[in-house]
Structure 1
Amino acid sequence: MSTTTHVSIPTTPHTTPRPRTVESVHGGGELHWVGDGFRVHTLVPSGGLRQERTSPFLLLDYHPPFAYPALDKGQRGVGWHPHRGFETVTLSFEGSVAHRDNAGHAGVIGPGDVQWMTAASGILHEEYHEPGFSRRGGTFHMLQLWVNLPRKDKMSPPGYQPITKEQIPVVPVQAGGAVTDDSKVRVIAGGYGEAKGPARTFTPITLLEVKVRAGERFELPLPSNHNALVLVTRGRVSADAEMVRGGELAVFANDGDSLSLRAEEDTHLVVLAGEPIREPIAHTGPFVMNNHREIIQAIYDFESGAFGEIPR
């Protein structure tokens, strides 16, 4: 696995970065439950959004802030289930999730943490509200991505990257500015300025969590062939005369070499960008492969126990 690096677009007095235009804005469908612990909008795929416009991202489930009452007993979440052919990436803004898989990995994803799980050839895992959070109750705010893997890596060994808040570089939104709680960039994958994210990725990916003060501008150079998405979780930004509000996902055209966003009010957003994987996709439930035959094989392997046993 290789570490993605941020690609800086060289500029000269004769070349000015061209801001990308907004191609579409999506609000997702109705809120729905994943298990009994995750109340989400599915923003990718949604609204006729084609996969070639979001690749390498297959799915984006956004859990807006929601106050869960205290739970005296039991657990909220999703029990044991399989995955093959892709990665899951979970970002926690508020609340905590306990994770366990059958490859021996376990941990808690708390506010500011990121979990990057590579299912690849096959893994079984479960996700529940962390027991302490369940007993206390409180506000839960997260998102989960599914990130595709190229054909050559789909049957790689499973992997797990528990990225803690302390491992993620935090830099100012504007060069020469100061890092404050309402103006900062957390670099999870790829890069921003001189900062590099700790996540290891199979293909070039940029994943940033950004807070921008009202009136500030956020600029990000990006190769023009990389797809680019921006999820606004709070506030609103303008880009190319389009307004993107809290809970909405903006998809940018590949017609420039930078993102340019202006915060119209204090805003929290997530930038997702990456080199598209231009390969066929076959998708059934928790399996994402390149053709139907490979999907049938994944189902057979799971049902025959090739994914391993569920830990006791």
Structure 2
Amino acid sequence: MATKKIEKVITPAGKHFVGDGFNVHNIIPGSQGLSMQRLSPFIMMDYNAPFYFPPSDTPKGVGVHPHRGFETVTIAYKGKIEHHDSSGGGGIIEDGDVQWMTAASGVLHKEFHEREWSKKGGIFQMVQLWVNLPAKDKMSEPKYQAITNRSMGRVMLENNMGEVEIVAGEYQGIKGPASTFTPLHLYNIKIKQGAKVDLSFPAAYNTALLVLEGSLKVNDKDKVPTNNFALFENRGEEFSITTKEDTVALLLSGEPINGPIAAHGPFVMNTKQELMQAFNDFNEGKFGYLED
């Protein structure tokens, strides 16, 4: 098989607040060349790099808002997040956990720092992805997957050099717990100084990684520093990751969803008419009810 090479390494632009609880770099589609189409099925990535929130009796976050046409995937690295939505989904995730909400035909939801964590304050670090849905599934029933760290698939590296946590898809025959609508892989790669990880994905899959701690090299050539994002070419299949320091990286790879994207605010559909219908349905209260 041919080697999959890095197309570009991107240092994210400045940060901004989403609500008052998430201080994020918008990487997809906010970075040059990282359109929703280019990274499909991953159509949005916000990265809250480590940020200290002081103690607060009022949890910070994002109040009630709607979504339709896609899924939100929130990965907690440090801190605790509490989620509720109008379809009855919800819960608390903490270090290492994931919440996977399928908005599909439409939900209202809210996300806040967990109340007790908020009272103590601390370092907060998270990634939120939006994963697109195929046209045939955009109006399916909403659902919610609470994925604890201990439920994830795991491949341990030789000589205690680290591990690959599989949230979705599979690695070396070990599957992750997340249910997905299209083929995709989502891994946390947690490796020690001197480790090497070999990976392989179909050439046509859109593949990228975000370094959350440490730094790494791809194919013993291209260095990706902390908080940087590496986009791979859509050629070749195999590549390797090596590191000279303890490193944590999020790797994503998925089969593109072909078709038009019509996105505005909290809705991602295929046509402008479908977008207008989403706004009308929201304004008419068809997304259910969720208390602020």
Which whole-Å CA distance do the structure 2 matches of 1:310 and 1:296 have between them? Answer: 22
Structure 1 runs, 4 residues or longer, greater than 6 Å off: none
Gaps of 5+ in 2: none
Cα-to-partner distance string for 1:145-177 (whole Å, 9 max, x where unaligned): 00000000000010100011121122213xxx1
Match of 2:134 in 1: 150
Aligned 8 A contact 1:68 1:140 in 2 = yes
Report Cα offsets for 1:54-108 as digits up to 9, x if no partner: 110000101111111111x222000000000000001111100011111112210
Root-mean-square deviation (CA, aligned residues, Å) is: 1.3
- Residues 1:107 and 2:91 are matched in the alignment: yes
Q: 2:247 aligns with which of 259, 267, 278?
A: 267
Q: 1:88 aligns with which of 50, 72, 75?
A: 72
Alignment match, 2:113: 129
Aligned counterpart, 2:209: 230
* Residue 256 (structure 1) aligned with residue 256 (structure 2): no
Question: Is the deviation greater in 232-241 or in 122-131?
Answer: 232-241
2:277 maps to 297
Match status 1:32 vs 2:16: yes
Equivalent residue letter for 1:262: T
| Cα deviation, residue 295, structure 1 | 0.4
Q: Per the alignment, in what secondary structure is the counterpart of residue 99 of structure 2? A: strand
AA aligned to 1:307 is F
Is 1:287 matched with 2:267? yes
Q: Match of 2:43?
A: 58
2:43 counterpart letter in structure 1: L
Q: Distance in 1 between matches of 2:291 and 2:112?
A: 15
Matching residue within 157, 163, 166 for 1:184: 163
Partner of 2:199: 220
2:41 aligned partner, one-letter code: P
Q: Is the 8 A contact 1:20 1:260 kept in 2?
A: no
1:205 touches 1:274 (CA, 8 Å); kept in 2?
yes
Calculate the TM-score normalised by the size of structure 1. Answer: 0.90
1:169 and 2:153 aligned: yes
Match of 1:70 among 46, 52, 55: 55
- Are 2:13 and 2:26, in contact at CA under 8 Å, matched by a contact in 1? yes
Map of 1:276 onto structure 2: 256
Task: Tell me, yes or no, if the aligned pair for 2:64 and 2:110 is still in contact at 8 Å.
Answer: yes
Alignment-mate amino acid for residue 64 of structure 2: W
Aligned to 1:194: 173
The TM-score with structure 2 as length reference comes to: 0.96
Q: What amino acid does structure 1 have at the position aligned with 2:46?
A: D
Q: Contact 1:28–1:47 at 8 Å: present in 2 too?
A: no
Q: Which position in structure 2 is the counterpart of 1:246?
A: 226
CA distance in 2, matches of 1:260, 1:87: 29
